[in-house]
């Protein structure tokens, strides 16, 4: 047996810890484009400001939302259509967005984010000599 | 609707048993690609923004029945909760500011309430986009212990 373990050490090795161990749900979202910016609307019912994380790094905008409500003890669920899993949404913008000027607002479970376009990609006129 | 360049799909729906030699199953990448294709094809038909029905949860404890409905982005005054003949009807108007100005979208759902309810003591609260309706049970509907004598 130990010979097999020597040949294939992975049999006895414990699986490595994975970072994203909990299942997440992708929320419904919509992106609308205007000449100046992109407007992102994300439906996050049950998420309050405390449970919301909005991060922009390396060309990716990540939104994580955790519901703030837990069923009180004594409640039995008869019928469930929503999930308890946290919301997660990652959008790649590849540096077309000016991250300094991102503006977000969370109201009544809807997150509206305004992602201004980076100067480099705005249309510009080039003068011809 | 133009979407930003390319979006990643971080949804991990499975807690895969990880064998020793592959912490991430080699099929994971393929699975998430296929999930993404199906979602983008089907998602245009069933989006919460244009779907008249909204997710609803039904709970109970010994005194009340609770209904939780996910209604993000609705004004409190636009929500109607009615109890008729053992059916609870929740209807709401969602206003969105589109290019043409304000657009109004109606949402409605009826749920059968399992137990008898004190209709005048029903309460509702709306927080963070979730509406919770509390329906107090009538005395006969509460769980009671009944001892049965056997002759």
Q: Could you give the C-alpha distances from B118 to A72, A78, B85, B122, B124, in angstroms and in order?
A: 22, 19, 12, 7, 14
Query: Where exactly are the structural domains of chain B?
Result: 1-46, 48-141
Q: Min CA distance, B127 vs chain A (Å)?
A: 7
Q: Is the pLDDT of residue B21 over 70?
A: no
Minimal-distance CA residue of chain A relative to B3:
A31
In tens, the pLDDT along A89-117 reads 988 888 888 888 899 999 888 999 999 98
Band (B134; pLDDT cuts 50, 70, 90) = very high
pLDDT in tens, A66-95: 988 888 888 988 888 888 889 999 888 888
- A9-66 pLDDT per residue, tens: 666 655 554 455 678 888 888 898 888 889 999 999 999 999 899 988 888 899 999 9
As a whole-number percent, the residues of chain B with pLDDT over 70 amount to 67
Closest residue to A44, CB basis, from B1, B10, B72: B72
What is the mean pLDDT of the segment spanning B18-27? 50
What pLDDT, on the 0 to 100 scale, is given for residue B46?
Answer: 54
Mean pLDDT of B117-132: 89
Which residues in chain B touch residue A77, judged by CB atoms under 8 angstroms apart? 57-59
Higher pLDDT, B143 or B131: B131
Q: Taking CA atoms, what residue in A is nearest to B65?
A: A75
Residue of A nearest to B56 (CA): A81
pLDDT recorded at residue B125: 92
Q: In this complex, do A68 and B13 lie within 8 Å of one another by their Cβ atoms?
A: no
**Which residues of chain A are within 8 Å of residue B129 when distances are taken between CB atoms?**
43-47, 108-110
User: How close does chain B come to A125, measured CA to CA in Å?
Assistant: 23
Of the candidates B76, B104, B56, which has an alpha carbon nearest to the alpha carbon of residue A108?
Answer: B76
Of B19, B56, B74, the CB nearest to A81: B56
pLDDT at B131 over 90: yes
Chain B stretch 85-104, residues whose beta carbon is closer than 8 A to a beta carbon of chain A: none
A96 to B20: CB separation less than 8 angstroms, yes or no: no
Contact present, B66 and B134 (Cβ < 8 Å): yes
Q: What is the mean pLDDT of residues B3-25?
A: 45
Q: What is the per-residue pLDDT across B53-91, written as a single tens digit (0 to 9) for each?
A: 788 999 988 888 899 999 988 888 889 999 888 888 999
CATH architecture entry for B48-141: Sandwich (2.60)
CB atoms near residue B65 (< 10 Å): 24
Question: What predicted TM-score, i.e. pTM, was given to this entire model?
Answer: 0.70
Name the pLDDT band for B133 (thresholds 50, 70, 90).
very high
- Higher pLDDT among residues A23 and A6, named by residue: A23
ipTM for the whole complex: 0.73
Higher-pLDDT residue of B96 and A80 is A80
pLDDT in the model for residue B40 = 62
> In angstroms, how far is the first alpha carbon of chain A from the final one?
81
Q: How many residue pairs bridge chain A and chain B with CB atoms within 8 Å of each other?
A: 141
A73 CB-near residues (< 8 Å, 6+ apart): none
pLDDT at A92: 87
Q: What is the pLDDT of residue A52?
A: 92
What residues of chain A lie within 8 A of the CB of B4, using their CB?
31, 38, 91-93, 96-97, 115
């Amino acid at each position: 047996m130990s010979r097999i373990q020597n040949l294939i050490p992975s049999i006895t090795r414990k699986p490595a810890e994975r970072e994203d161990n909990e299942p997440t749900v992708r929320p419904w979202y919509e992106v609308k484009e205007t000449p100046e910016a992109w407007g992102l609307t994300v439906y996050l019912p049950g998420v309050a400001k405390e449970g919301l994380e909005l991060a922009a790094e390396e060309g990716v905008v990540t939104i994580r939302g955790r519901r703030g409500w837990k069923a009180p003890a004594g409640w039995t669920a008869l019928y469930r259509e929503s999930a308890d899993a946290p919301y997660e949404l990652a959008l790649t913008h590849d540096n077309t967005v000016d991250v300094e000027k991102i503006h977000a607002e969370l109201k009544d479970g809807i997150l509206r984010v305004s992602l201004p376009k980076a100067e480099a990609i705005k249309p510009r006129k080039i003068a011809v000599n | 609707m133009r979407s930003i360049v390319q979006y990643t799909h971080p949804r991990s729906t499975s807690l895969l048993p990880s064998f020793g030699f592959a912490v991430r199953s080699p099929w994971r990448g393929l699975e998430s690609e296929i999930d993404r294709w199906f979602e983008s094809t089907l998602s245009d038909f069933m989006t919460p923004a244009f779907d008249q029905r909204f997710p609803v949860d039904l709970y109970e404890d010994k005194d009340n029945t609770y209904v939780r409905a996910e209604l993000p982005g609705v004004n409190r005054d636009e929500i109607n909760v009615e109890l008729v003949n053992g059916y609870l009807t929740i209807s709401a108007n969602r206003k969105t500011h589109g290019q043409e100005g304000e657009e109004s979208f109606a949402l409605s759902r009826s749920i059968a309430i399992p137990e008898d309810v004190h209709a005048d003591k029903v309460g509702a609260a709306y927080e963070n986009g979730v509406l919770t309706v509390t329906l107090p049970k009538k005395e006969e509907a509460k769980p009671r212990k009944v001892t049965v004598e056997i002759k």
